[in-house]
A and B are shown apart, each in its own frame.
Chain A
Amino acid sequence: EAGVAQSPRYKIIEKRQSVAFWCNPISGHATLYWYQQILGQGPKLLIQFQNNGVVDDSQLPKDRFSAERLKGVDSTLKIQPAKLEDSAVYLCASSSLKGATNTEAFFGQGTRLTVV
């Protein structure tokens, strides 16, 4: 079974530029998550989709971050404009639904963003 695919693996941009990350979840997984992991900290949930609807975006800085999940499959996360404090690893994860319960989340390798 193919895992969660993310691209790019690494990205370096200057502050105030924009950047986009792409995620392809495991086939058939209804739930997709984007996490931000700052060095030395645990992952922080930015946004959670169930199919193509947003179920939690309470920690997404909506003035600069946006995400979409077209057709309930692939997803993109965008930052515009980037700030120095956005330097982090951005993790995508997916899980399947069994009835009303999500199975465990499977993670991609992440995109390491450096803002200079």
Chain B
Amino acid sequence: GDSVTQMEGPVTLSEEACLTINCTYTATGYPSLFWYVQYPGEGLQLLLKATKADDKGSNKGFEATYRKETTSFHLEKGSVQVSDSAVYFCALRSGGYQKVTFGTGTKLQVIP
């Protein structure tokens, strides 16, 4: 079945450092790919998405590129802020009824 594998956390960075959170997937067909973010005490929010190969999703300074050849969708940000501290989930949507499958999440902590 479909699956998403994310790098384990927690990831601790200093403010203004570069961020990469790795995500790879296994799916039949051509899934859509997503990054969701969960801030402390809040629900899941869509951060960015890409629906076909080579698409780049971007939002709030975060970017991720749909790489079909490596089945990856790594999340990147050039300069993180304390307010980016949250748990980040990689997800894919595929199949006839477009089931959404999540990774296990990566906790990011940014320290001043």
Residues of chain A touching chain B, judged by Cβ–Cβ distance below 8 Å, are 31, 33, 35, 40-45, 48, 50, 55-56, 91, 93, 101-102, 104-110
Instruction: Pick from A43, A44, A102 the residue with the most CB of B within 10 Å.
Output: A43
Task: Report yes or no: B44 in contact with A104, Cβ–Cβ below 8 A.
Answer: no
Task: Report yes or no: B44 in contact with A56, Cβ–Cβ below 8 A.
Answer: no
Residue of A nearest to B97 (CB): A55
Interface SS of chain A: helix, strand, loop or mixed? strand
Residues of chain B touching chain A, judged by Cβ–Cβ distance below 8 Å, are 4, 34, 36, 42-46, 49, 89, 93, 97-105
Residues of B within 8 A of A50 (CB): 97
A56 to B101, CA, bound (A): 12
Task: Report yes or no: A56 in contact with B49, Cβ–Cβ below 8 A.
Answer: no
Task: Report yes or no: A109 in contact with B97, Cβ–Cβ below 8 A.
Answer: no
Which of B45, B98, B104 makes the CB contact (< 8 A) with A107? B45
Residue of A nearest to B93 (CB): A102
Residues of B within 8 A of A56 (CB): 97, 99
Task: Report yes or no: A42 in contact with B104, Cβ–Cβ below 8 A.
Answer: yes
Task: Report yes or no: A104 in contact with B42, Cβ–Cβ below 8 A.
Answer: no
Task: Report yes or no: B43 in contact with A91, Cβ–Cβ below 8 A.
Answer: yes
Residues of B within 8 A of A45 (CB): 99-101
Residues of A within 8 A of B98 (CB): 31, 101-102
Task: Report yes or no: B99 in contact with A41, Cβ–Cβ below 8 A.
Answer: no
